[in-house]
């Protein structure tokens, strides 16, 4: 597999002297730009690498990937050159499951991540039957409104919807048809983060991430729904910085 990492990775605040890197994987329909504020907050202590999936923004012409395993293969390949320094992973929603799959692949390569932060996603073993990807365009927009993570003005603009819905549908198909390989665990510490009113993941479902690592585990529950992190960026970046820069045990913040 040949993957052009320059197409996949965005470095909004290059930090050549940072001792550690954090790769951030977006939610379904999301883009690398979502993590610009995280990159700004953590730089220069942590160099943030934001993953840009095909089919959106400057990669709109690239075919979307509708299979999560394939997306994980390509993402792991794109991140491989970045493992010359310690690398941690952060994923939100679909990006959390993807980050877990990428972590498994990096471990298989002998370049295990130093930590895995999974946000707004139930554990891989807590499967729900969901078919949002089979809905009409109107049904997809309804789901976006329900999760309150997209500007309402954007959802009322047909030109913008024409640009974003194909990637959104592909991402939903990828995550909703994915089945985790049973019995696998990552060796790195896992810190799970979630909102207490998230309709996509209850705190109990998120707690079960503890069964998917042989390392340390911690969970942080914040007030809010699926996009709770929009209102808690400072707390979340502090958790990440404490673990990656200062070596604090997970859950100590």
Q: Are 96 and 126 in contact (CB under 8 A)?
A: no
CA 248 to chain centroid: 22
Q: Which of 119, 212, 226, 241 is catalytic?
A: 226
Question: Active-site residue 93, yes or no?
Answer: yes
Q: Which of 27, 39, 92, 93 is catalytic?
A: 93
Question: Active-site residue 127, yes or no?
Answer: no
Residues annotated as catalytic are 93, 226
């Amino acid at each position: 597999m040949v993957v052009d990492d320059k197409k996949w990775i965005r470095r909004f605040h290059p930090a050549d002297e940072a001792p550690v890197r954090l790769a951030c994987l977006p939610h379904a329909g999301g883009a690398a730009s979502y993590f610009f504020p995280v990159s700004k907050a953590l730089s220069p202590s942590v160099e943030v690498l934001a993953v840009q999936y095909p089919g959106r923004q400057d990669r709109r012409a690239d075919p979307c990937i509708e299979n999560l395993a394939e997306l994980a293969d390509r993402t792991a390949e794109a991140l491989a050159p970045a493992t010359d320094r310690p690398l941690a992973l952060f994923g939100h929603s679909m990006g959390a499951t993807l980050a877990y799959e990428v972590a498994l692949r990096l471990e298989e390569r002998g370049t295990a991540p130093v930590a895995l932060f999974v946000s707004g996603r139930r554990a891989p073993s807590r499967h729900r039957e969901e078919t949002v990807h089979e809905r009409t365009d109107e049904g997809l927009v309804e789901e976006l409104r329900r999760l309150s993570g997209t500007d309402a003005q954007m959802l009322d603009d047909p030109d913008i919807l024409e640009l974003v819905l194909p990637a959104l549908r592909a991402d939903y198909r990828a995550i909703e048809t994915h089945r985790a390989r049973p019995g696998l665990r990552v060796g790195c510490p896992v810190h799970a983060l979630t909102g207490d009113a998230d309709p996509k993941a209850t705190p109990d479902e998120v707690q079960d991430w503890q069964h998917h690592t042989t390392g340390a585990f911690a969970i942080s529950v914040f007030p809010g729904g699926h996009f709770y992190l929009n209102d808690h960026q400072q707390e979340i970046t502090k958790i990440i910085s404490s673990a990656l820069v200062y070596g604090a045990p997970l859950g100590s913040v």
